[in-house]
Structure 1
Amino acid sequence: MSSKPEFLTAHRLPKSSVWKVKAELVDGTRLEGLPGSAGTLPRVRLSPDAFNALKALRNRGETIREVMERLIFEAAGKP
């Protein structure tokens, strides 16, 4: 099972599109599309030591970006 949140939709979403939650509703969540694709997400510069530390914390098949996201969400106390 994937550690990333997943959702099902009856609508076709564009490939590599990026979405954010606009509103939490009783019957679901309203999403808002962000301009650009997954390749244009903000870049973070890491020192070699930070990169190696994140590399050591990776789960199987996880990217460095996903490790950073997981650590940020854990620190914020969000699932």
Structure 2
Amino acid sequence: MRVTHYDRQASVFVVEELEPFEGWERGSFHVWLSDGTCDCGLFQSLHYLCRHTLAGCATASIEWVPYVHLVYK
């Protein structure tokens, strides 16, 4: 998995899956950090950061804890 694009102003990442992983095919996933959404659907459905979001935060050196939903804190 690698981040291929990051727009700091819009807080949008494009994360590419390089190998199939637990039901996901290879391909790109868009993460809208400020909206709490990802194309994989897990970020918005679980209200917890998915692997694509964590990869984007790690690449951009963004603290991910503020994006965890209050129910998990």
Tell me, yes or no, whether TM beats 0.5: no
TM-score (norm 1): 0.24
TM-score (norm 2): 0.25
- Higher RCO (C-alpha under 8 Å, 6+ residues apart): 2
Larger Cα-atom Rg: 1
